[in-house]
């Protein structure tokens, strides 16, 4: 189980600083609003190198989804596609992340005409850095998978908001409303 024991570290005023989860013999720091977004470098659906630092000075929607070409993930991607012009007009960059490979991402992009970048994370480094790999339950079966989560990262590279209850069919409006745009 990825998240089995949680401990809250406190400062001398008994205010919580960070929640640390123990997973096996690893410590996982749960990201929160105001934290610096973990840096990453990977490739996109076209094989181009992409780093978070490439978007410094821009608002970034970093959305994690379980799998290309699945029903809910497609609804989410198409909603962002359909509202991409509005997001772009607001100065927002959209980056999707899953552990699918480059070929799968390219097919997904082409099949649905996705105008934004899909990041390849086959080794789950970004997924783990953002702590969105966890135990899930589906049809009575426990398994490990990506938690559908969106991080709204500001122009300075800090996490403004974390959307854990994503509304896939209306995600762009959820992003704009959460950011107050």
Contact 61, 92 (CB under 8 A): yes
In terms of pLDDT, which residue wins out, 19 or 77? Answer: 77
Contact 116, 84 (CB under 8 A): yes
Mean pLDDT for the stretch of residues 141-156: 92
Whether 27 shows a pLDDT value over 60: the answer reads no
Confidence of residue 140 (pLDDT cuts 50, 70, 90): confident
Phi and psi of 10, rounded to 5°?
Answer: -125, 150
| CA nearest neighbour of 172 among 68, 67, 96, 58 | 96
Question: What are the DSSP E strand ranges found in 52-158?
Answer: 59-64, 92-98, 117-120, 133-138, 141-146, 149-153
**Single pTM value for the model:** 0.83
Q: What is the pLDDT of residue 7?
A: 40
| CA nearest neighbour of 97 among 71, 132, 70 | 132
Q: What is the pLDDT of residue 137?
A: 78
Q: What is the pLDDT of residue 124?
A: 95
Contact 64, 95 (CB under 8 A): no
CATH architecture of 33-179: 3-Layer(aba) Sandwich (3.40)
Q: What is the pLDDT of residue 29?
A: 52
Q: What is the pLDDT of residue 107?
A: 97
pLDDT tens across 44-68, in order? Answer: 999 999 999 999 999 999 999 999 9
Contact 172, 87 (CB under 8 A): yes
Q: In the chain, where are the structural domains located? A: 1-30, 33-179
pLDDT tens across 124-137, in order? Answer: 999 999 999 988 87
Q: How far apart are the C-alpha atoms of 38 and 35, rounded to whole Å? A: 9
Q: Known catalytic residue: 73?
A: yes
Whether 1 shows a pLDDT value over 70: the answer reads no
28, 50, 60, 73: the catalytic one is 73
User: Mean pLDDT, the chain, as a whole number?
Assistant: 86
In this structure, the strands spanning 149-153 and 159-163 are: antiparallel
Whether 89 shows a pLDDT value over 90: the answer reads yes
């Amino acid at each position: 189980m990825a998240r089995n024991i949680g401990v809250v570290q406190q400062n001398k005023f008994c205010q919580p600083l960070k929640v640390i989860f123990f997973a096996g013999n690893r410590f996982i720091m749960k990201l929160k609003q105001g934290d610096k977004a973990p840096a990453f470098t990977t490739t996109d659906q076209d094989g181009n190198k992409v780093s978070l630092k490439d978007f410094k000075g821009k608002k970034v929607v970093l959305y994690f989804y379980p799998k290309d070409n699945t029903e809910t993930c497609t609804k989410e991607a198409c909603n962002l596609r359909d509202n991409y012009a509005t997001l772009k007009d607001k100065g927002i960059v959209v980056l999707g992340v899953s552990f699918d490979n480059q070929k799968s991402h390219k097919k997904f992009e082409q099949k649905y005409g996705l105008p934004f970048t899909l990041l390849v994370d086959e080794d789950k480094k970004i997924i783990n850095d953002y702590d969105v790999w966890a135990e899930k339950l589906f049809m009575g079966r426990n398994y490990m998978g990506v938690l559908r989560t969106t991080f709204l990262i500001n122009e300075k590279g800090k996490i403004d908001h974390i959307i854990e209850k994503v509304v896939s069919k209306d995600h762009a409006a959820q992003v704009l409303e959460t950011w107050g745009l």
